[in-house]
């Protein structure tokens, strides 16, 4: 495949509108077809010939644009993570300096992303099929999201807003819980993304050990979004 460094996604992709609004991701027809195939059959089970047939192009055309099936997976993972990085950037900027507000909005933003972008977020475990160079490209923005949440958790602990004995473990456990939403969320399910986000904000506040007054204020803040 082409040099992965040439295809790195910047730390924040342009975001139009609020972090709470989710317009369709502008994917090319090829990437839309690849996304559908990967969602239906998994990366390993999806055939390049099938993807080409879905979009009505030849296999060489796919290779011309993305180099390989792995290239299509990487492009989709980059689109997903670029969107999340951009949204968390805006959410943190709007939240201000208070650790509680930053934590609530960051959790709220991430959970809504997992719901509204479920088809893309579901691909995260498929990154295991990337080679080392491609995995490095994808890992960079993914790590940035983790570092942002960790920084907020540590700031809240330092300020006495939270009581977190193991910030790294807590952060990773929360992110793992949020990521799992993409495996079970359905748009026609009983809860809206906003309701799921409010519930996960409450779970997350419990995890960082806020008192009841702070916890109630945090959930109320999320529900008014």
- Give the position of tokens 């239906």: 40
Nearest to 107 by CA among 80, 84, 77, 141: 84
Domains for the chain: give ranges and CATH numbers. 27-67 (1.10.10.60), 69-223 (1.10.357.10)
Instruction: State residue 222's pLDDT score.
Output: 53
The secondary structure of the chain in percent helix, strand, coil, rounded to multiples of 5, reads 75, 0, 25
CA atoms within 13 A on the CB side of 7: 23
Name the CA dihedral angle for 58, 63, 69, 72, rounded to a multiple of 10 degrees: -100
* Residues 61 and 52 sit within 8 Å (Cβ to Cβ): yes
Q: How far apart are CA 37 and CA 42, in angstroms?
A: 7
**In this predicted structure, what is the pLDDT of residue 214?**
52
Q: What is the pTM of this model?
A: 0.86
- The pLDDT assigned to 210 comes to 77
What is the rounded average pLDDT of the residues 179-190? 95
Q: Which residue matches tokens 């939270």? A: 162
pLDDT at position 153 over 90: yes
């Amino acid at each position: 495949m082409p040099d992965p460094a040439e295809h790195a996604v910047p730390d924040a992709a342009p975001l139009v509108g609020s972090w709470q609004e989710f317009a369709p991701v502008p994917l090319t027809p090829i990437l839309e077809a690849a996304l559908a195939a990967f969602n239906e059959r998994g990366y390993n089970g999806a055939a390049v010939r099938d993807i080409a047939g879905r979009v009505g192009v030849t296999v060489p055309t796919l290779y011309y644009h993305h180099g390989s099936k792995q290239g299509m997976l990487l492009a989709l993972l980059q689109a997903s993570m670029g969107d999340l990085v951009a949204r968390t950037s805006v959410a943190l900027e709007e939240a201000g300096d208070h650790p509680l507000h930053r934590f609530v909005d960051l959790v709220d933003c991430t959970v809504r992303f997992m719901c509204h972008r479920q088809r893309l977020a579901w691909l995260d475990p498929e990154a295991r099929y990337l080679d080392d160079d491609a995995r490095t490209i994808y890992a960079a923005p993914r790590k940035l999201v983790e570092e942002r949440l960790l920084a907020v958790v540590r700031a809240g602990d330092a300020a006495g807003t939270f009581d977190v004995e193991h910030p790294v473990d807590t952060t990773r456990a929360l992110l793992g819980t949020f990521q799992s939403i993409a495996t079970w969320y359905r748009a026609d399910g009983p809860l809206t993304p906003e309701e799921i986000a409010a519930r996960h904000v409450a779970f997350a506040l419990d995890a960082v050990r806020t008192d009841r007054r702070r916890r109630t204020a945090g959930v109320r803040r999320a529900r008014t979004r």
